[in-house]
Amino acid sequence: MTMAPRFRRVIWIVLDSVGIGEMPDAAAYGDAGADTLGNIAAQRPLHLPNFAAMGLGNIKPLAGVPAAASPAGSFGKCALASPGKDTTTGHWEMVGIHLEQPFPLFPQGFPAEVLRRFEDAIGRRSLGNKAASGTEIIKELGDEHVRTGSPIVYTSADSVFQIAAHEDVIPLWELYKICETAREILRGPLEVGRVIARPFEGESGAYKRTSNRKDYAVPPPKGMLLDQLHAAKVNVHSVGKIFDVFLGRGISVYDKTKTNAEGMATAIDAMRHTLDGLIYVNLVDFDMLFGHRNDVEGYANALEETDRWLPTLQGAMRPGDLAIFCADHGCDPTTPSTDHSREYTPLLCYSPGANGADLGTRASLSDIGQTVAENFGVTIPKGTSFLQAL
């Protein structure tokens, strides 16, 4: 007879890029001194009373975020066991996949032979082929793109092949087809973590990216958490870019969102409809809008907006629910770099009426996935569960 899960429903929320201090190998990634939460708090006092009550300030000293005498949640932090510091690496590790080699990076642009194959396949020349900010490169090359019809190809410190195009020049259906073509070409040693469609609109001098972004990720290896939950007939409802990261594998219902505010509202709505199983949420604004743009004030405001939402989340929870908060990497907006940072990620777990516990420093983000797996009666290849400590 299968035992009932300890928590009937788990709401797992990824605060995208909200790191909590450099890992021991951070210097090897150019991230010595990175501390997304700590450095923001030092520059701009944070008002996070609900996260503080849950135990955020118990993980490490944070200016303006006091340690709670009796935390309402369990608290700790997670190392990233895999090499790298990007979305795919972090999310894959959460579900039990550890990389032996990082996804390839192309800081000097992609090899000429790759671009030749790509251009021959799509029947257009391309522009750019360098590491750049997405907003800056459309300022730089948008006019030439509109004039020539050549898509803009660029990368970043992440393992990505990004293709920007004006929606009136290359329609969405064609841009998506171009991305599918790139995904087929970028295999083997060229297999970047994601190919990303980056459509934009507007007139010269005022180009603006639209919300019609689409990610083409590498298929995750079989046997990860979402596969195991699906095999065990556990409901999985994803919110935000989770569906794209995992190519929809094991996901029963999904909602794609465009902002943190929409993600938070959608998570509450998902709780009204998904009464058991896993609700897996990514809130991306911290990373996309503020970390990569070194916007300390915007990042701080987004943290405080999420903190104000916590009572709504807690009010929607029932006995037998568990909420888990974590991140996938850092993106410290106080440093000169606009790249992700190699940091520990915070870990907070809250269940109505439960006492908080110190979960310590976890060796891997897979510890979270193994905890969820154990709760629902399955296992994943990596990670040590802390379910019994909750």
Specify whether the CB–CB gap between 243 and 14 falls below 8 A.
no
Residues across the chain: 390
Structure tokens given for 329: 């990497």
Report how far apart, in Å, the C-alpha atoms of 381 and of each of 48, 50, 243 are: 35, 34, 21
Which pLDDT does position 3 carry in this prediction?
Answer: 75
Closest CA to 351 of 382, 322, 384: 322
- Gap between the Cα atoms of 359 and 375, Å rounded: 17
Q: What is the mean pLDDT of residues 73-83?
A: 97
* pLDDT over 90 (residue 375): yes
- Gap between the Cα atoms of 382 and 385, Å rounded: 10
* pLDDT over 60 (residue 1): no
Which pLDDT does position 134 carry in this prediction?
Answer: 87
Measured in whole angstroms, the distance separating CA 289 from the mean position of its chain's CA atoms is: 13
Q: What is the mean pLDDT of residues 70-91?
A: 96
Instruction: Please provide the average confidence, as pLDDT, over all residues in the chain.
Output: 95
pLDDT in tens, 227-258: 999 999 999 999 999 999 999 999 999 999 98
* pLDDT over 80 (residue 204): yes
Which pLDDT does position 2 carry in this prediction?
Answer: 60
- Gap between the Cα atoms of 130 and 153, Å rounded: 7
- Gap between the Cα atoms of 271 and 11, Å rounded: 8
Give the confidence band of 149 by pLDDT, cuts at 50, 70, 90.
Answer: very high
Provide CATH code, domain 112-217.
3.30.70.1250
pLDDT in tens, 101-124: 889 989 899 999 999 999 999 999
Q: Residue ranges per domain, the chain?
A: 9-101+219-389, 112-217
Specify whether the CB–CB gap between 331 and 46 falls below 8 A.
no
291: left (phi over 0), alpha (psi -120 to 50) or beta: alpha
Residue bearing tokens 């090897």: 28
Find the angle CA(103)-CA(241)-CA(128) to the nearest 5 degrees: 55
The CATH number of domain 9-101+219-389, selected from 3.40.720.10, 3.40.390.10, 3.40.50.300, 3.30.450.20: 3.40.720.10
- Gap between the Cα atoms of 320 and 376, Å rounded: 13
Which pLDDT does position 142 carry in this prediction?
Answer: 97
Q: What is the mean pLDDT of residues 15-36?
A: 97
- Gap between the Cα atoms of 157 and 87, Å rounded: 11
Q: What is the mean pLDDT of residues 315-328?
A: 97
Specify whether the CB–CB gap between 68 and 52 falls below 8 A.
yes
The share of the chain scoring above pLDDT 70, in percent, equals 99
Specify whether the CB–CB gap between 363 and 126 falls below 8 A.
no
